[in-house]
Copies of this chain bind each other. A is one copy, B any other.
Amino acid sequence: MEQQPGYILLIDCPDEKGLVHHISGVLYRLGLNIIGNQEFVEHEEDRFFMRTSFRGAIQPDEVVEELKALLPAGANISLRQHQPKNIVLLVTREQHCLAELLVRNQFRELNANILAVVGNHPDLGRFTHQFGINFHHVPHEGISREQHEAHILEVVSRYQPEYLVLAKYMRILSPEFVARFPNRIINIHHSFLPAFIGASPYRQAYERGVKIIGATAHIVNNDLDEGPIIVQNVIPVDHTYSVNDMIRTGKDVEKIALARALQLVFDDKVTVNGNKTIIFD
């Protein structure tokens, strides 16, 4: 027997009595096979969040309409078929996060399709090609940031990706660029945010003499290093670690944090709530 398509329903709206009962009623009357169901109420702002995964033959637009009719004003409803997301990666020179994603992609463990990799340096082109993935070198030297971003946008647009992943892309994106992909750019920052915002976080960590270093995967918004955090990951260090030891050790933490964050995002488990995330894991 052929399996019915799977869907993920994400709802957030002002909290009120009976939401679970009413929403589950819609799904029950459609005769769907519920796989999982989770709710959360953010009590500081009385907002209700829900994630339901189910299988069934539905007309998604009709389900959304029916839900909209019974939910309070200000409700966000997302109903997506469960399938791999199309993504493009941006990189600079470091390979560890790129490699992590290329390997998972090749073995279909990423829940995404890497359509292409864009680098502002050419260094990772050959490596990307080993995996049979397109690499585009979009240099930034000698042109303005606006021009560079326009070039990137031109390349990215050809692929129509659902998400951009900054896999150690070491340039700051302009608010205008970010605004084109709202909540759809994922970055890995090489520190335990909000510690060590900005450049050379491992040098900063070394100078401060911390005993734990970390990495933060987050959604990019207009403020540098300030977007909603998805995953943080840490590892102990001690006084014997040079800056380079921290950088090397940090790579493992970074790539695993990024990979876990992407798994959550691509499984539609992440809802953005202001500058925070609600994660139904």
- Which of A's residues lie within 8 Å of B, judged by CB? 17-18, 20-21, 24-25, 27-28, 31-44, 95-96, 99, 103, 106-107, 109, 127, 130-131, 192-196, 208-212, 214, 228-232, 234, 236, 238-240, 242, 248, 252, 256, 259-260, 273, 275-279, 281
A211 touches B239 (CB 8 A): no
Minimum C-beta distance from A25 to chain B (A): 5
Query: Chain B: which residue is nearest A21 at the CB level?
Result: B24
Among candidates B33, B34, B103, B276, residue contacting A95 with C-beta atoms closer than 8 Å:
B103
B37 touches A20 (CB 8 A): yes
| A27: B residues at CB distance < 8 A | 21
| A252: B residues at CB distance < 8 A | 256, 259-260
Tell me the complex Cα distance, A38–B240, Å.
12
Contacts A/B (CB < 8 Å), 13 sampled: A20-B37, A34-B41, A35-B41, A36-B41, A103-B103, A130-B131, A193-B210, A194-B210, A209-B228, A209-B276, A211-B232, A238-B281, A239-B278
B239 touches A279 (CB 8 A): yes
Known contacts A33-B17, A107-B95, A229-B208; A193/B195 CB under 8 A? yes
Known: A17-B28, A17-B33, A239-B273. 15 other contacts (CB 8 A): A21-B25, A35-B41, A36-B40, A40-B240, A44-B242, A106-B127, A130-B130, A194-B195, A208-B229, A208-B276, A209-B228, A209-B229, A212-B232, A239-B278, A240-B281
User: Which are the 5 A-B pairs with shortest beta-carbon distances?
Assistant: A209-B276, A21-B24, A195-B195, A99-B103, A211-B232
- Residue of A34, A107, A236, A277 contacting most chain B CB atoms (<10 Å): A34
Tell me the complex Cα distance, A37–B25, Å.
16
Tell me the complex Cα distance, A34–B18, Å.
9
Copies of this chain, complex-wide, total: 4
Tell me the complex Cα distance, A256–B34, Å.
36
Tell me the complex Cα distance, A109–B252, Å.
12
A239 touches B34 (CB 8 A): no
A234 touches B212 (CB 8 A): yes
Query: Chain B: which residue is nearest A42 at the CB level?
Result: B239
| A43: B residues at CB distance < 8 A | 242
Query: Chain B: which residue is nearest A256 at the CB level?
Result: B252
Query: Chain B: which residue is nearest A131 at the CB level?
Result: B130
Minimum C-beta distance from A29 to chain B (A): 9
| A209: B residues at CB distance < 8 A | 228-229, 275-277
| A277: B residues at CB distance < 8 A | 209, 239
Query: Chain B: which residue is nearest A253 at the CB level?
Result: B256
- Residue of A20, A44, A208, A242 contacting most chain B CB atoms (<10 Å): A20
